[in-house]
Chains A and B, each alone.
Chain A
Amino acid sequence: MNATQRAVQEELHRIAPDIEFESIDADEDLREEFDMDSMDFLHLVTALGKRFGVPMPEADYPRMSSYNALCSYLDEVIE
């Protein structure tokens, strides 16, 4: 697990403490897997944007649709 994945898992746990990370499908819809609504997702994006100093524009939301997609996206924009 790299630093990005660890950070994403930490923030997800803060928002959805009732979901075991091991129980989710990392390629499926992130909001469905973690039972997040739009406010939860906004909190996640806000927290990750602050943590990594990246803008996380809404236009890029489609690239953050699953856990794996989100981690890849972050790795790419943090470069």
Chain B
Amino acid sequence: MPSLGSDMETGTLIEWQKKPGDTVSRGDIVAVVETQKGAIEIEAYDDGVLESHLVDIGKPVPVGTPLAIIQTPDSGVKSAPDRATTAPTQASGEISSPREPVTVDVAGGLTQDAARGGAEGGRQKISPAARKLAAELDIDITRVSGSGPQGAIVLRDVRSGAQRDERGSSLADSASRLQDGTVGTAAESTTLKTATSEMRSAIAAAMARSKREIPHYYLSQTLDISCADQWLATLNSERDPSQRILLGALLLKAVATACVKYPEFNGTFDNGVFSPAASVHAGMAINLRGGGLVAPAIHDTHELDIDGVMIRMRDLIQRVRGGRFRASELADPTITVSSLGERGVQSLYGVIYPPQVAIVGFGTPTLRPWVGEGGVLEARLLMDMTLAADHRVSDGHRGALFLRHIRQNIESPGDL
């Protein structure tokens, strides 16, 4: 069971995608795990043959528990590890995550109305595991409100529904424990937290750590994006809707390209040491319709052209909103880009997602008065860009150069 967040203590397997005897290749989806961020697809880290499943569907297990055994060509048959072990085992052939945990980003869009689930629109969605548990506990699912993607009822909703009568004050308990900065035991966290508070707790834990540990500094710049807007309009005018490029793709690409020249904004800070990342995995903050947000990575953003970035963005947003994405995407962004591009917000001051060291925010493009070259006052399409960065790693001077580089990239989109 990989750790998909610094606060994650247990996870629940909801689906096997490979059965014993199946051949698996590195990167194949082997299983699906339900977490507070939705259903996450778990990939194999080795080639081999799936020998056996070690965990049952629907039962929460601690992070680090081996989920299955994969027989790899060079390792031969692995003996089955003790099921009760809680220490993460990294022996080759087992499915576990060697990556740094974490990643619900947080920047601006946190206060989505979490209560606005999808239950009222048509048929209630429910995960298979939740349906099974509801049947076992004899719970009427029409009385359970869903907190999963698109308001789907997931396991935790059924559990919290079952607990509600005896633990009426669970929300208050969770909230006060969060305030104390203490973390409950694994058993408590699966049973005490109410459905809507789970993702909020994950965000709260990460952001509290960020504000406690990271000495943020903030910079902002106003960009004239009239030319970029025109460039996109010309490009898109000849394209079918399925091939069109959104401004967001250009922004991601512009940030990723700048990261190559300014590596101190792209990487992770752990145990007092900054490790610049070899690649740019730009995390993209995506809000979820049911409330909350995640910021999964677009791998190697700097190496993709603008069409490539757009294709990956489209695919990622669709899968995230559908409630399915891969553990590796969730686990390893090296910088986050957040945009409240269409909600009228002028500036977005991000909170860095630890262990990352920077977050770039973009506000809504608006027509505003602008004194351009030659001192002429004009109405231009302007956008505010901000940087929140970690003072343990960089200074405002470098931050300003980094922002200037991003601005130049956006102003000459044809060169990207």
Interface residue SS majority, chain A: helix
Enumerate A45-79 residues with CB–CB distance to B below 8 Å: 45-46, 49-50, 55-59
Contacts of B244 on A, CB cut-off 8 Å? 42, 58
Determine whether the beta carbon of B289 is less than 8 Å from that of A16. Answer: yes
By the criterion CB–CB under 8 Å, are A45 and B116 in contact? Answer: no
Give the distance to chain B from A9, nearest Cβ to Cβ, in Å. 11
* Residues of chain B within 8 A of A57, CB atoms compared: 237
- The answer to whether B121 touches A17 (Cβ under 8 A) is yes
A37 interface neighbour in B122, B237, B341, Cβ under 8 Å: B341
Contact of A18 among B120, B237, B318, B342 (CB under 8 A): B120
Within 8 A of B (CB), among A18-39: 18-20, 31, 35, 37-39
Q: Does B242 contact A (CB under 8 A)?
A: yes
**Assembled-state Cα–Cα distance A59/B151 (Å):** 35
Cα A51 to Cα B65 with chains together (Å) = 47
Alpha-carbon distance between A8 and B134 when the two chains are bound, in angstroms: 35
Taking the complex as formed, is A13 at the interface, i.e. its CB lies under 8 A from any CB of chain B? yes
B120 touches A39 (CB 8 A): no
B residues 104-130 near A (Cβ < 8 Å) are 116-118, 120-122
In the complex, what residues of A have CB within 8 A of residue B313's CB? 39
Are A49 and B236 interface neighbours, CB within 8 A? Answer: no
Given the contacts A42-B246, A58-B244, A19 and B121 also touching, CB distance less than 8 Å = yes
**Structural contact, B236 and A39, CB atoms closer than 8 A:** no
| Nearest CB of chain A from residue B305's CB, rounded to whole Å | 19
Name the A residues within 8 Å of B314 (CB-CB).
39, 42
| Distance A18 CA – B114 CA, assembled complex (angstroms) | 12
In B236-262, the 8 Å CB interface with A consists of: 236-237, 240-242, 244, 246-248
A39-B289 contact, Cβ under 8 Å, with A19-B121, A55-B240: no
Least distance between A8 CB and chain B CB atoms (Å): 15
**Quick one: given A13-B122, A56-B241, are A38 and B246 in contact (CB under 8 Å)?**
yes
Query: How many B residues touch the partner, as a band?
Result: 20 to 34
Interface residues on A, range: 20 to 34
Chain B proximity of A56: nearest CB distance (Å): 5
Q: Which residues of A contact B248 (CB under 8 A)?
A: 38-39
User: Are A49 and B241 CB-contacts (below 8 A) given A39-B248, A39-B314?
Assistant: yes
Residues in chain B near residue A37, CB distance under 8 A: 287, 341-342
User: Among A46, A56, A59, which residue has the most Cβ atoms of chain B within 10 A?
Assistant: A46
**Across-interface contacts of A17 in B (CB, < 8 A):** 118, 121-122, 150-151, 289
Q: Which B residues are CB-close (under 8 A) to A38?
A: 246-248, 341-342
Please, which residue of chain A has its CB at the minimum distance from the CB of B341?
A38
Are B241 and A13 in contact, CB atoms less than 8 angstroms apart?
Answer: no
A20 is contacted by which of B120, B151, B237, B318 (Cβ under 8 Å)?
A: B120
Q: Chain A residue with minimal CB distance to B151?
A: A18
Asked if A18 and B246 sit within 8 Å, CB to CB, the answer is: no
Residues of B within 8 Å of A35, CB to CB, are 289
Residue of B nearest to A19 (CB): B121
CB distance from B362 to the nearest CB of A (A): 12
Residue of A nearest to B290 (CB): A18
Residue of B nearest to A54 (CB): B241
A31 to B344, CA, bound (A): 12
Most A CB within 10 A of own CB, among B241, B242, B287, B290: B241
Alpha-carbon distance A56/B237, docked complex (angstroms) = 10
Q: Could you say which of A20, A31, A50, A59 contacts B342, with CB atoms under 8 Å apart?
A: A31
Please, which residues of chain A bring their CB within 8 A of the CB of B237?
Answer: 57-59
A18 touches B150 (CB 8 A): yes
Query: Can you pick out 29 interface pairs between chain A and chain B where the beta carbons lie within 8 Å of each other?
Result: A13-B122, A17-B118, A17-B122, A17-B150, A17-B151, A17-B289, A18-B116, A18-B117, A18-B118, A18-B120, A19-B121, A31-B342, A35-B289, A37-B287, A37-B342, A38-B247, A38-B342, A39-B246, A39-B317, A42-B241, A42-B246, A42-B314, A43-B318, A45-B241, A49-B241, A55-B240, A58-B233, A58-B244, A59-B237
- Using a CB–CB distance below 8 Å, which chain A residues touch chain B? 13, 16-20, 31, 35, 37-39, 42-43, 45-46, 49-50, 55-59
- B-to-A contact residues, CB < 8 Å: 116-118, 120-122, 150-151, 233, 236-237, 240-242, 244, 246-248, 287, 289-290, 313-314, 317-318, 341-342
**With A37-B342, A49-B241 already in contact, 17 other A-B pairs whose C-beta atoms are closer than 8 Å:** A17-B118, A17-B122, A18-B116, A18-B151, A18-B289, A20-B120, A37-B287, A38-B342, A39-B314, A39-B317, A46-B241, A49-B240, A57-B237, A58-B233, A58-B236, A58-B237, A59-B233
